[in-house]
A and B are shown apart, each in its own frame.
Chain A
Amino acid sequence: SQQGEEDPQALSIQEGENATMNCSYKTSINNLQWYRQNSGRGLVHLILIRSNEREKHSGRLRVTLDTSKKSSSLLITASRAADTASYFCATSPPDSNYQLIWGAGTKLIIKP
């Protein structure tokens, strides 16, 4: 029951450039979360944005949420080689307190 769809599936940019990833979803949400996964490792939480919020920042990360378009974007500014990873969005549906619904992820490669 995957709801989130990340776009693009893969992204390769030069170090120092900005990286933008998008997530679209189908139904209403309580919140949307972004996670990072380094190859062969567990996921690490990046940002949680609630349905009544439009934008959040954390260091070099900026997340926007447009509930009218059912979409979110994750911007990483001044990318570094260490940002190379897969990035996933997950949505929390309002009718379930305990579930997260995951997209297939965007694989980001930062070229030195």
Chain B
Amino acid sequence: DGGITQSPKYLFRKEGQNVTLSCEQNLNHDAMYWYRQDPGQGLRLIYYSQIVNDFQKGDIAEGYSVSREKKESFPLTVTSAQKNPTAFYLCASSSAGGRTEAFFGQGTRLTVV
């Protein structure tokens, strides 16, 4: 049963903490993406990766970091440098970047407490 899995579904972060959001796919896709969505807004690109061990900053990369050590996995770390991290985070993958459809995980809702 192929798909893309994000965990956890809900995450709470204290001030000054780093937290890591998990994203795993078994679709054998090369491209993976992290987006941030704020209420009533569209998607803003944080980072994307075209292949293993390579990733590129998106429009709002400041305060975030990623790694791509395995094709299946693209974790996102929200660092303490991200001053307004409360948002809905979506991970996606595709076989040929923007040339084909993207498959999305169910999202992680991060809240600062």
Query: Are B101 and A45 interface neighbours, CB within 8 A?
Result: yes
B59: interface (CB < 8 Å)? yes
Contacts of A35 in B (CB 8 A): 102
Which one of B14-22, B63-71, B72-80, B92-100 is at the interface? B92-100
- A105 CA / B38 CA spacing, docked (Å): 12
- Contact for B97 among A88, A98, A102, A104, CB less than 8 A: A98
Query: B34 at the A/B interface (Cβ < 8 Å)?
Result: no
Q: Which residues of B sit under 8 angstroms from A45, Cβ to Cβ?
A: 101-103
B: interface residue count bin = 20 to 34
Q: How far is the CB of B105 from chain A (nearest CB, A)?
A: 5
Is A84 part of the binding interface, using a Cβ–Cβ cutoff of 8 Å? Answer: no
Q: From residue A78, how far is it (CB to closest CB) to chain B in Å?
A: 24
Listed residue (A92, A99, A105) with the most chain B CB atoms within 10 angstroms of its CB: A99
- Confirm or deny: B110 has a beta carbon within 8 angstroms of a beta carbon on chain A: no
The answer, yes or no, to whether A40 is at the interface (CB within 8 Å) is yes
Within the complex, which residue of B6, B42, B48, B109 is in contact with A98, where a contact is CB–CB below 8 Å?
Answer: B48
Contact, CB under 8 Å: A104 / B104 = no
Flag whether B81 is at the interface (Cβ < 8 A). no
What residues of chain A lie closer than 8 Å to B40, measured between beta carbons? 104, 107
Bound complex: CA A31 to CA B31 (Å): 17
List 5 A–B pairs whose Cβ atoms lie within 8 Å, in order of A's numbering. Answer: A43-B90, A44-B104, A48-B101, A92-B98, A96-B98
